[in-house]
Structure 1
């Protein structure tokens, strides 16, 4: 089923609840190392209940949990949330080798298992859509639903120059606060690691891998996003066996920041499907 909607359903109770400390308004960080790679997991507990949905937020290249802050707070009203700073990003230790998308997905799965997660709604933004898709392909037992926000990379624009120009245009459309988060996160990850992982992002065939995802998928973009064009996002949604497409009016690439309420409503709708 494909098409846009702005309905806001209640989330279906999930299949697991994480047993971790911290129920305040700020995420409780935890350092998790597995297979020689380290992530920082920023946990926010949902409402007290025996079972609740679990949401996992995977950032894009150069970014961290910080640009998910608004969305995480909204989702935490309905379930436990984990925003993961992946290896090399968000102040985590830089790996000693280039990591593939499959490497990131396998690491994320191992982190979730250490955290006690059983069935999760995985949310990815930008390059994080690649991590989320690969995680769903690798571990259908772990992932129940997939939300892809501002996916990359459009095959018709698979060059570093084209993507760089689109990123520059997007910066002109983002809010000053969003740009501040972006540029400080880029500085924290460092140019060397960013450039190490750019070829990985550019080479991942999201179209082909998404066709293998058996879970329900929602592809979401902001209507002013110059990086994830509408026609390609619609094609991606149609490629997924159980996919749908949604556009948030007036929002650029960081749709989870500027359009957090609409994105949260759609993720809750997805989780209830």
Structure 2
């Protein structure tokens, strides 16, 4: 059985939780959940990626039942906390895999700390530059909810309850204000943009725009899936990530690998 550890880390005033499964030597993946969520809706992807390397899922401060910070935490501070967490854990460079708002935190880590990133995977990236109001996002979320299977919705709403409305809304403001299409141009490692073909939140036009902004990025669609494609088609998503890493990271030497 693949060994797994769970730890809580205090980084300044922020508390993070990591769930780590140790796989074959080589690639380490860091999975970053989206707004309101936790590692639980990344669990299937987590398991699917362990054949490729070590996988770390993270619960961010205020999510997944962790204490809410006593102050507002913007994208930059959260990214700095994630970077400090990676420094503390001593992983070396990782493949940063973010889903939904997690794509913003992952992209910001890669832009601010290029030494910590081997590649960046953006699953269902937000927020579409044409749809950056609360009402627009609420409408897109409603459409997505109708398209998601009941078990996926149950998982999402259970985590929303644990997050609570105040922390959710505080982070929503940062999500809508973050210009990922600008920050992705500062990322110096390979980028994969991945979406479900029926995802109303991360539209095809938006994902094409984002992949074009990143130098040499790849865009992959998983047929018939919507926003939580990492949960409903974990095997296909993991295969896409593994193939991308095999093609784009060939020849890279990790620190300490000879």
User: Same fold, TM exceeding 0.5?
Assistant: yes
Write the distance in 1 (CA, Å) between the matches of 2:205 and 2:143: 19
Higher relative contact order (CA 8 A, sep 6+): 1
Write the distance in 2 (CA, Å) between the matches of 1:32 and 1:242: 35
The offset of 1:78, in angstroms, is 1.2
After TM superposition, the structure 1 = structure 2 runs for residues 71-82 of structure 1, keeping only pairs within 5 Å, are: 71-82=45-56
Write the distance in 1 (CA, Å) between the matches of 2:128 and 2:137: 9
Over the residues paired in the alignment, what is the CA RMSD in angstroms?
Answer: 1.1
1:23 matched residue in structure 2: 2
The offset of 1:36, in angstroms, is 1.3
The offset of 1:257, in angstroms, is 0.6
Note the alpha carbon deviations across 1:79-107, whole angstroms, 9 max, x for none: 11110000010111101111111111111
The offset of 1:23, in angstroms, is 3.2
- TM-score for both structures, normalised by structure 1: 0.88
2:20 matched residue in structure 1: 43
Please say if residues 145 and 270 of structure 1, whose CA atoms lie closer than 8 Å, have aligned partners that are also in contact.
Answer: no
- TM-score for both structures, normalised by structure 2: 0.93
Alignment pair present for 1:34 and 2:11: yes
Alignment pair present for 1:241 and 2:218: no
The offset of 1:266, in angstroms, is 1.3
2:83 matched residue in structure 1: 109
Please say if residues 64 and 85 of structure 1, whose CA atoms lie closer than 8 Å, have aligned partners that are also in contact.
Answer: yes
Write the distance in 2 (CA, Å) between the matches of 1:173 and 1:104: 31
**Count of equivalent residues:** 247
Q: Secondary structure at the match of 2:130?
A: helix
Write the distance in 1 (CA, Å) between the matches of 2:64 and 2:143: 24
Moved over 3 A (4+): none
After TM superposition, the structure 1 = structure 2 runs for residues 1-273 of structure 1, keeping only pairs within 5 Å, are: 23-24=2-3, 27-47=4-24, 51-272=25-246, 273=248
Please say if residues 65 and 83 of structure 1, whose CA atoms lie closer than 8 Å, have aligned partners that are also in contact.
Answer: yes
Write the distance in 1 (CA, Å) between the matches of 2:210 and 2:240: 17
1:14 matched residue in structure 2: none
Q: Secondary structure at the match of 2:80?
A: helix
Write the distance in 1 (CA, Å) between the matches of 2:5 and 2:154: 23
Unaligned runs of 5+ in 1: 1-21
Please say if residues 68 and 257 of structure 1, whose CA atoms lie closer than 8 Å, have aligned partners that are also in contact.
Answer: yes
Write the distance in 1 (CA, Å) between the matches of 2:89 and 2:155: 27
